[in-house]
Amino acid sequence: MQSRAVILYPPALTQDSLMVGDRIGVRISMVVPSGATVVPPPAENGFGPFVVKEWTVDKTERSSSDSLTYRYVLTLYTTDQCTIPALPFIHVAADSIRDTFMTEPVIMKIVSVLPADTVDIQDLKPQQSAGRPSLVWLWITLIVLVLIAGIFIGRRFFSKAPTAPPPPPPKPAYEEAIEALAALEAKQYLLKGMVRAYVFELSDILKRFIGRRFDTNAADFTTGEMLDWIVQAPLGQDVRRSMEWFFTETDPVKFAKHIPDRDTVLRFGEVARECIEKTRPLPQAEKPSGGASGGNGAVEGS
């Protein structure tokens, strides 16, 4: 189905007026062809003067179409009259056709925190005093402050601060990488249409694992430096080809804002996990006596 099959409903608000600091709910629903990808507007600066406190997306899949509902919680920190701007939703169909759909702008009313009949308070007189004020309480306060300062200084110089326990050792590289992959899947970036954020974090997880596993600063490598390292790294041929494919194909997604098809995006996660599994350090009891094992890319060491 083509991108013109998308149905975008007008925004639905929980209220049409608010005071500064109030929260309002905005619901935006749409129906898109099955298998399509939707990229929502950026939450950081895509809502004009409004600040996005939180947002979620619900997806219902059907045989020929998917129903998406985006829910935003917005707030405002300015007293100027303002409008929720038209919000762009980028739709990428299964046949890679891209289109942008805009919601309708919504004018919001800002309500003053002061009652309408509030008037200035007039005829107030300054505080009156009679006689000479007593300084007894001032002296008492100064003496108490001096005593507190003395106690604090005495404890600082005569008491020995307890030694902080050493930090726990870091988790092994393989365990850290597997936990990071699970945490990434829990964020549901792909369901929310955040393909670029998903690829960035997935690439960082694989680079961090390579850096710890092979004692190199892979986390700071450019894509070109990463590919040069792979050529001379102690890896099996299948792992080398998988890593070269991963970093070559993810580079335009991260830096050229290219959105690949759904199968390619899913394969990114599979290949990253495969590279980590095939290069995990062998348990002590399973290490070969001859050094590196070239078949699966696993090398002795942690």
Q: Average pLDDT of 222-236?
A: 93
Q: What percent of the chain has pLDDT over 90?
A: 39
Whether residue 151 lies inside any domain: the answer is no
Identify any residues that bridge with 205 across adjacent strands, giving them in sequence order: none
DSSP state of 218: G
Whether residue 53 lies inside any domain: the answer is yes
Contact between 31 and 123 under an 8 Å Cβ cutoff? The reply is no
Task: Please tell me whether residues 278 and 180 are part of one structural domain.
Answer: yes
Identify any residues that bridge with 57 across adjacent strands, giving them in sequence order: 70
| Token pair in block for residue 91 | 């739709």
Contact between 39 and 259 under an 8 Å Cβ cutoff? The reply is yes
Task: Please tell me whether residues 200 and 100 are part of one structural domain.
Answer: no
Whether residue 138 lies inside any domain: the answer is no
- Whether residue 286 is predicted with pLDDT greater than 70 in this model: the reply is no
Whether residue 302 lies inside any domain: the answer is no
- Whether residue 54 is predicted with pLDDT greater than 70 in this model: the reply is yes
Mean pLDDT of the chain: 82
Domain of 35 in residue numbering reads as 3-110
- pLDDT for the residue 47: 84
- Whether residue 295 is predicted with pLDDT greater than 50 in this model: the reply is no
- Whether residue 296 is predicted with pLDDT greater than 50 in this model: the reply is no
- By CB atoms closer than 10 A (0-12, 13-18, 19+), residue 209 is buried
The pLDDT tens digits for 205-215 are 999 999 999 99
- Whether residue 112 is predicted with pLDDT greater than 50 in this model: the reply is yes
Q: The domain that contains 25 carries what CATH number?
A: 2.60.40.740
- Whether residue 169 is predicted with pLDDT greater than 90 in this model: the reply is no
The pLDDT tens digits for 170-207 are 889 999 999 999 999 999 998 998 999 999 999 999 99
Whether residue 38 lies inside any domain: the answer is yes
The residue whose two tokens read 């929720």 is 84
Q: Average pLDDT of 276-295?
A: 61
- Whole-prediction pTM value? 0.44
- By CB atoms closer than 10 A (0-12, 13-18, 19+), residue 159 is exposed
- pLDDT for the residue 291: 39
Q: Average pLDDT of 123-152?
A: 76
> Which range, 7-16, 19-28, 87-96, 260-269, is most confident?
260-269
Task: Please tell me whether residues 87 and 190 are part of one structural domain.
Answer: no
Whether residue 241 lies inside any domain: the answer is yes
The structural domain count of the chain equals 2
- Whether residue 15 is predicted with pLDDT greater than 60 in this model: the reply is yes
Task: Please tell me whether residues 101 and 14 are part of one structural domain.
Answer: yes
Whether residue 100 lies inside any domain: the answer is yes
- Last residue of one domain, picked from the residues 110, 140, 164: 110
- Last residue of one domain, picked from the residues 110, 133, 152: 110
- pLDDT for the residue 242: 95
